[in-house]
Amino acid sequence: MQNDKSKLKIVFLGTSEFGAIVLEGLIKGNYKPILVVTASDKPVGRKQLLTPSPVKVIAQKYDIPVLQPDRIVNCKLKTVGLKPDLAIVSAYGQIIPKDMLDIPKSGFINVHPSLLPKYRGPSPIQAAILNGDQETGVTIILVDEKMDHGPIIKSSKLKVQSSKFTYRELHNKLAELGAKLLLETIPKWTKGEIKPTPQDESKATYTKILKKEDGKIDWEKSAKELERQVRAFSPWPGSYAFWQMPKGPLTRIKILKVRVFIFPLSKTYSIGKTLIVPQNEIGVQCGKDFLVIEKLQMEGGKAMGSEEFVRGRPDFIGTILK
């Protein structure tokens, strides 16, 4: 079996941390790709330092040749003399053009972090958390010309009920699950032992590219919805609100960690109003129930627990967050 694995010529396409975890799992499972295709190095941080993608970092760690076309249509896969048996896509970020799909003998297969056809698109993990799903998972599909549309080769479920996963925690679990499923699937798929099943288009749902403004908290929502948002958008795009400082400017407040507080107060507070709840933490009136802020960060300041924050900013209590 070791020899069979080493003879299989695989090309891997991926960019993000999800793809990097899948790639390393593939290599550790003795399926080392002959080539990795990833995004160009990008400027990162305040100093705008040119930084390789997480997938490129893993490829270099294992001395795998790397191609970085700005657009996949410019990829020289056909002209570099490669005749791959299989191409694997994981969080690459571009649609594979039709003229490339038939190059590998076993086609292109994609590892996607949702139970397709649910949550096609770029933010399926965040969507699962936002919607309070009881289960999610990963799906391996045969890639076609449409986004996350191809027939299903194999899927694996992950129970998440009652779990309080942040995006990063769930992301890592799904990436590890995807790598494991891929190792189970490759030998059967390349030997023709699996027949893919078309997706049910009537059940297809789509996710969007997240933007910074998506993190703005709407206090009209229930505390339960906002608690999910904070977990789903950690660390990016983050969740935030604005505080009008008494005798000061309107300041952005990053909301880093929260929990729901249900307490039938006789007094009705204004939406977005801050108060002190048990354990001397900050509570905020939502459309339904209270959101307890356990950890927050004022613009330009350090992250801290809410009790410490209030000691330094007692004028925060009783104000309305926007």
Q: What is the pLDDT of residue 227?
A: 98
Where residue 279 falls among pLDDT bands split at 50, 70, 90? confident
Q: Please state the domain extents for the chain.
A: 2-203, 212-316
Q: Of 23-27, 95-99, 138-142, give the lowest mean pLDDT range.
A: 95-99
* pLDDT tens digit sequence for 65-99: 999 998 887 776 654 567 899 999 999 989 998 88
Interval 199-240: pLDDT, tens: 999 999 999 999 999 999 999 999 999 999 999 999 999 999
In order of 245, 250, 301, the CA distances from 315 in angstroms are 8, 14, 17
The length of the chain in residues reads 322
Q: What are the angstrom distances between the C-alpha of 215 and each of 42, 150, 252?
A: 23, 31, 12
Kindly report the three-state secondary structure assignment for every residue of the chain: CHHHHHHCCEEEEECCHHHHHHHHHHHHCCCCCCEEECCCCEEECCCCEEECCHHHHHHHHCCCCEECCCCHHHCCCCCCCCCCCEEEEECCCCCCCHHHHCCCCCCEEEEECCCCCCCECCCHHHHHHHCCCCEEEEEEEECCCCCCCCCEEEEEEEECCCCCCCHHHHHHHHHHHHHHHHHHHHHHHHCCCCCCECCCHHHCCECCCCCHHHHECCCCCEHHHHHHHHHHCCCCCCCEEEEECCCCCEEEEEEEEEEEECCCCCCCCCCCEEEEEHHHEEEEECCECEEEEEEEEECCCCEEEHHHHHHHCHHHCCCEEC
Q: What is the pLDDT of residue 211?
A: 97
The CATH architecture assigned to 2-203 reads: 3-Layer(aba) Sandwich (3.40)
Tokens encoding 121:
């698109």
Binning pLDDT at 50, 70 and 90, where does residue 2 land? very low
Residue with tokens 């100093």: 47
Architecture category of domain 212-316 in CATH: Roll (3.10)
Query: What angle, 0 to 180 degrees and rounded to 10, lies between the N-to-C axes of helices 167-190 and 17-28?
Result: 40
Lookup: tokens for 136: 């999610």
Mean pLDDT value of segment 98-124: 95
Predicted pLDDT of residue 265: 64
How far is the C-alpha of 228 from the C-alpha of 242, rounded, in Å? Answer: 19
Q: What is the mean pLDDT of residues 291-316?
A: 95
